[in-house]
Structure 1
Amino acid sequence: MATLTIEELATSLLPSQAIAGLDLGTKTIGLSMSDLGRRFASPRPVIKRVKFTKDAEVLLAFAEKEKVAAFVIGLPTNMDGSSGPRVQATRAFVRAMADKTDIPFVFWDERLSTVAATRALLEMDVSRAKRAERIDSAAASFILQGALDRLSALASTD
């Protein structure tokens, strides 16, 4: 498994390969998937975290079922650009996944993704209880959509 930049991912993907978005939390992992044209990100049900080995098993089963070509994982950088404990935990998760899969990971700045996801759910008039269930996957969709938009921009400059 390799960690790639978004530019490296753009050159390594084959047409019609889907990518997954991840929002790694302490209790859940938010999931999203791109369409085969890599234009749209759609939320998927969250993974309830148990321990790393179980989390990895569930995530890799999802990747196999959905034929995931790459993971875009949100990197929770502080607003001032510094790295805190959540960044370290995310990087450690990706390092631990290196022994378990050859699927590449791309780190994506997730600053304000949860805020944007919350606003979108509020605009859709989703109840507080439903928002709590859906926020992590909605955030994963915002993370993935940002990466998909960048991939599209890179493709148009070729």
Structure 2
Amino acid sequence: MARVGVAGSDPDSILATPIRTLKRDARKDSDIKVLVREARERGAVQIFVGLPRTLKGGESESTRMARDYAARLAGALAAEGLQVSVNLVDERLTTVAAHRSLHTAGVGSRDHRKVVDQAAAVQILQQAIDMQRSLGRDVGSPVQAPPAHGRDRARDGAPGAGQEGPGLSEEEQDRAGETE
């Protein structure tokens, strides 16, 4: 995973809109810090992370990476004391559909890369919103934050656990992403 598309919805959970694309920073998790800050500032109550299953519904390395990412995000949210649920939702073909809609909207192929992750995030979020409304319940698979001792290890600099501290500014996050 090289980039993370971010989308949000209005307070009534009717319409998903694009917010930004973050560069994935597996070393420092600066993108996760930005997501935690966004969740806090927007008063988020739920976050959906796309789960890229194979066309047959199986698991792949990308699926495992998404599960790990969601767990890291849930841990970082919990470490900040935010009560925001993280749910994994099937994202099969969302990137293909996002490319198609961008092409239909007249966005040139060269420019797709800059916004395709946002467009896919919008599709994932809108699908989750619509499903929740029609079913009258939460959708997706809930992700549990790692045990508290894992978060404590993160404060001591141990890898693989949630992070603490203030979110980075967009400029700081962009600089951190450039070191990949």
The structure carrying a bigger strand percent of its residues is 1
* Matched residue SS, 1:36: coil
* Matched residue SS, 2:76: coil
Instruction: From 107, 110, 113, give the equivalent of 1:132.
Output: 113
What residue ranges of structure 1 are gaps of 5+ in the alignment?
1-25
What residue ranges of structure 2 are gaps of 5+ in the alignment?
79-83, 138-180
Moved more, 139-148 or 95-104: 95-104
Q: Percent identity?
A: 29
* Matched residue SS, 1:151: helix
Distance (Å, rounded) in 1 between the aligned partners of 2:29 and 2:100 = 33
Kindly tell me the number of residue pairs found equivalent between the two proteins: 131
Tell me how far 1:131 sits from its aligned partner. Answer: 1.4
Tell me how far 1:55 sits from its aligned partner. Answer: 1.9
Larger RCO of the pair (alpha carbons < 8 Å, separation 6+): 1
Distance (Å, rounded) in 1 between the aligned partners of 2:107 and 2:95 = 15
Q: What corresponds to 1:105 in structure 2?
A: 86
Q: What corresponds to 1:148 in structure 2?
A: 129
Tell me how far 1:155 sits from its aligned partner. Answer: 3.1
* Matched residue SS, 2:22: strand
- TM-score between the two structures when normalised by the length of structure 2: 0.68
- TM-score between the two structures when normalised by the length of structure 1: 0.77
Q: Does 1:47 align with 2:15?
A: no
RMSD between aligned residues:
1.5
Tell me how far 1:96 sits from its aligned partner. Answer: 2.0
Distance (Å, rounded) in 2 between the aligned partners of 1:84 and 1:44 = 28
Distance (Å, rounded) in 1 between the aligned partners of 2:6 and 2:74 = 19
Distance (Å, rounded) in 2 between the aligned partners of 1:66 and 1:130 = 28
Q: Does 1:60 align with 2:41?
A: no
Q: Which of the pair has more CA radius of gyration? A: 2
Distance (Å, rounded) in 2 between the aligned partners of 1:42 and 1:32 = 5
Tell me how far 1:118 sits from its aligned partner. Answer: 0.8
Tell me how far 1:113 sits from its aligned partner. Answer: 0.4
Code of the residue aligned with 1:151 in structure 2: it is Q
